[in-house]
Structure 1
Amino acid sequence: MTTAASDINRNKRILFASIGSLGDLHPCVALAFELRRRGHSVTIASTEFYRGHIAALGFEFAPLRPNWDPTDRDLIARCENLKRGPEILFRELILPYVNDTYEDLLHAAANTDLMIAGELNFAAPLVAEKFKLPWASAILSPCSFFSAHDPSFLVNAPYLIHLRRSGWIVNRVILNSGQPFIRRWWSPVRNLRKREGLRTKCNPVFRDKFSPDLVLALFSKHLAAPQPDWPVNTLQPGFVFYDRPEMDSELKASLQSFVANTDDPPIVFSLGSTAAHNPGHFYEVSISAAKHLRRRAVLVGASDSPRMIEPGILAVPYAPYSWIFPRAATIVHQGGSGTTGQSMRAGKPTLIVPYGWDQPDNAMRIERLGTGLHLPRRAYSVENAAATIERLLIEPQFARRAAEVGQSICADDAVPLACDAIERLLGGFVAVQNGSGWVADSKTQPG
């Protein structure tokens, strides 16, 4: 039996199961397009809010509770609490509905050949176990691996980052010592497992979110390289990108006219798909910083329609990052995984202003990489923003390093590599690590 993608049976039924924002959904869409091009039938399960978005792309949609609005300002504000955000999301917004998610996913996966699940979908491992269904987990950020060899900035324990250089043994002890304190969070999952006759011993965040079949690390090795304590069946193809390329005529005309002067590229400010709905003073500070620097600027997500809010400052509701970021002088954003990947691919210096979750860790990684700088949200004042952006504009090492990384990421074949691995899994093959990298092993899956 061969692992070549051309030898895998076509027209398999593949289910993506995503809980979260567009930042979680769009990597699924990127892979779904390629799998559909290869002849497979693709269904995307997500919150009802995205039904129209998915249907417009021509994919089958399956509703997945909890049925929340990812643009709800109050909801976003609660989850952006740096210290308590993870607990609020898990214990109040996801885990109380895990029975509903499980029932919805059982229905969606009933006639599926393979499932690909995001890490916030705590019902996915149960459904895979119930149906003996092969599945892959999609991991979008380095901090999600909780590596002791490459420790991340954890928003609910920020002081631990100071122990980063203490060695992997110390960092592993620290990570393990914290797990008992959140064990009570997973009672709804344990109770559901018991009810369904599945194994009751579980660790949804530190272990169970990683599929035993295939783990896809969907971020660049420039952001984080593979580590010895990642799951052995991890494949790291890199970032997979999708953003809406279409723009209506008014938006397209406004943007094209504004960026036409290539001798004076604008600073682009954006907060991604979520934080833009609870921006705080980000856009006001950004406007003042741009004026202080006497630079033109594009504010993405700051207006319901394209409009000049100051001379040389254009506010737009949306702009495809793949289009606007390469045309920027520098980019200022919140540090979400998708936005970070797009800014790295664009090859432009970046200032990250983290709002929560994986964003502070991404920000510190970008700074260590040498492609940008970061400011804590509380420190994002006009003076600090202007001074930091000016450094990115005038110190040549940032532009040079960003361009190098951008060229490397543009050369990645992340989507084909990820889909090759998915097709190998459909054919009964798994990914394993050897000394020279990540390869396919011809070991068929149990069950």
Structure 2
Amino acid sequence: MKVVVTTIGSLGDVHPCIALGLELKRRGHEVVIATSEFYRPKIVSTGLGFHSIGPKHLSPEDPELLSSIMDPKQGPENFIRKLLMPHMRGVYDDLLAACHGAKFLITGELVFAAPLVAERLGIGWASLVLAPWQFLSAHDPSIIGPLPLFAFIRGAGVTVNRAMKELARKQTKSWAEPIYTLRKELGLSAASHPMFEDKNSPYLNLAMFSSAFAKPQVDWPDHTKTVGFAFYDRQNPASGLTDEVRHFLQNGEPPIIFTLGSTAVMNPGSFYTEGKRAAEQLGRRALLLTGKGSPGISGSRDHMVTAYAPYSEIFPYAAVVVHQGGIGTTAQAMRAGCPQFVVPHAFDQPDNAARIKRLGLGLSLRKDRFHAPHAAEQLRKVLSDEKIRAKAAQARTFVEKENGAIAAADAVESACR
């Protein structure tokens, strides 16, 4: 059968879709990944089908755009109301074309047109939930920002968090006006709220994270299945570690690895310069993954700077991974069993950072406080904490037993029967 997997976002959104798509293809299904044109070469190189969807002008490597959507206060509104919603009709048309002949549609959270396409075509669909914060549970509340206020609200109890969710629901309802208008034009059923209950599928909701990271809650939507993390981290199927990086990792004490994923890395600020200084103050080796941009630092014998390396191949060598808290990076660190030190920027990252700390897997530090002396002090705590290392090893054992791509593919096939 033909299955379309669609998403909008960063590599952290795209990689799980590739992992699931490859597993479905292995089982004999025709799989098309519908996402931004930017990812065409990556998708095509895997042998999966590709279909471009809008908004056409959005690039995950545009620093100005990323600065706008990662703003701590206005980021969600800038991204959803100002950048995504005005192009809803175009995204709908693109996805409708991609789904020609499809029997099932699997969608990421930000493809708000996906439920409309599924309803119009009369096909089943599943939602991808890559991080716990997407559920907005009142029983396991998410921390939706880096400020201490959000952590305070989380601890205020179910009633308060349920009220906060309802307040957010009311305040953002007007953002979705283009969807309500499009539904009316297409003669589809009336919507409730595309960013809340309407994003949940009545058929299948795939929680694609480990149950070691978040336990199911009573207010999660019906038909939700926790399948575990799904991993893919290649630039292309033939890519891997360079000889230079491999030699560095295999010759010397375990390094501190610094990375900002694929989004925050476009606006790194002083992260890498302060991180390198912190490593120097500790007398530790470091590997810094700086992306395509130039953060203005140079490598040395004990401090290697490189644009990219597959996390699955480098994290097992790490003494600690210092990262932005994206769910993909978090998952890879858990699978590698290494301690984590999180410097969250936006989106799900503050919540993931808080979960890592609560689970005893590491520590976190606000971005505006990530300066070499303070960072070195916190890193020293992580490096010397036997309990963190033990918890990280336990997490690795748990995550290694899961296979999110296989479990998700099983669930999709069951939903199609």
Aligned residue in 2 for 1:56: 45
* 1:336 lines up with 2:341 in the alignment: no
Aligned residue in 2 for 1:113: 103
User: Residues 367-382 of structure 1 correspond to what in structure 2 (within 5 A)?
Assistant: 367-382=357-372
Shift of 1:278: 1.1
Deviations 1:102-133 (A, max 9, x none): 01011111210101000000000111111111
Shift of 1:159: 2.2
- Of 29, 32, 46, 2:18 maps to 29
Shift of 1:155: 2.3
TM-score when normalising by structure 1? 0.89
- Of 223, 232, 248, 1:233 maps to 223
Aligned residue in 1 for 2:413: 423
TM-score when normalising by structure 2? 0.96
User: Residues 23-422 of structure 1 correspond to what in structure 2 (within 5 A)?
Assistant: 23-67=12-56, 68-155=58-145, 159-244=149-234, 252-261=242-251, 264-302=253-291, 309-422=299-412
CA distance in 1, matches of 2:82, 2:156: 35
Residue type at the aligned position of 1:39: G
Structure 1 residue matching 2:192: 3-state secondary structure: coil
Alpha-carbon spacing, 1:247–1:214, altered in 2? closer, same or farther (3 Å): closer
8 A contact 1:304–1:316 mirrored in 2? no
CA distance in 2, matches of 1:295, 1:187: 53
CA distance in 1, matches of 2:178, 2:390: 50
CA distance in 2, matches of 1:226, 1:251: 37
Shift of 1:252: 1.4
Deviations 1:320-347 (A, max 9, x none): 0000001101000000010111011111
Residue type at the aligned position of 2:199: K
Alpha-carbon spacing, 1:198–1:71, altered in 2? closer, same or farther (3 Å): same
8 A contact 1:83–1:157 mirrored in 2? no
CA distance in 1, matches of 2:81, 2:191: 19
* 1:13 lines up with 2:2 in the alignment: yes
Structure 2 residue matching 1:23: 3-state secondary structure: helix
CA distance in 2, matches of 1:250, 1:130: 42
Structure 1 residue matching 2:71: 3-state secondary structure: coil
Shift of 1:272: 0.5
Structure 2 residue matching 1:216: 3-state secondary structure: strand
CA RMSD of aligned residues (A): 1.9
CA distance in 2, matches of 1:102, 1:250: 36
8 A contact 1:290–1:386 mirrored in 2? yes
8 A contact 2:146–2:345 mirrored in 1? no
Structure 1 residue matching 2:155: 3-state secondary structure: helix
Shift of 1:247: 9.2
CA distance in 1, matches of 2:147, 2:345: 15
CA distance in 2, matches of 1:178, 1:259: 46
CA distance in 2, matches of 1:162, 1:78: 26
CA distance in 2, matches of 1:129, 1:249: 39
Structure 2 residue matching 1:265: 3-state secondary structure: coil
Gaps of 5+ in 2: none
Deviations 1:175-214 (A, max 9, x none): 1123211111011111111111112232011111111110
Structure 2 residue matching 1:259: 3-state secondary structure: helix
Structure 1 residue matching 2:334: 3-state secondary structure: helix
Shift of 1:169: 2.6
The sequence identity of aligned pairs, in percent, is 43
CA distance in 2, matches of 1:249, 1:129: 39
Number of residue pairs matched by the alignment: 414
CA distance in 2, matches of 1:249, 1:208: 39
CA distance in 2, matches of 1:301, 1:346: 20
Alpha-carbon spacing, 1:267–1:109, altered in 2? closer, same or farther (3 Å): same
Alpha-carbon spacing, 1:331–1:323, altered in 2? closer, same or farther (3 Å): same
Shift of 1:249: 9.1
Deviations 1:230-268 (A, max 9, x none): 012000011111110769899511111101125x11100
8 A contact 1:217–1:238 mirrored in 2? yes
Deviations 1:205-227 (A, max 9, x none): 11111111100001111221100
Alpha-carbon spacing, 1:247–1:418, altered in 2? closer, same or farther (3 Å): closer
Aligned residue in 2 for 1:444: none
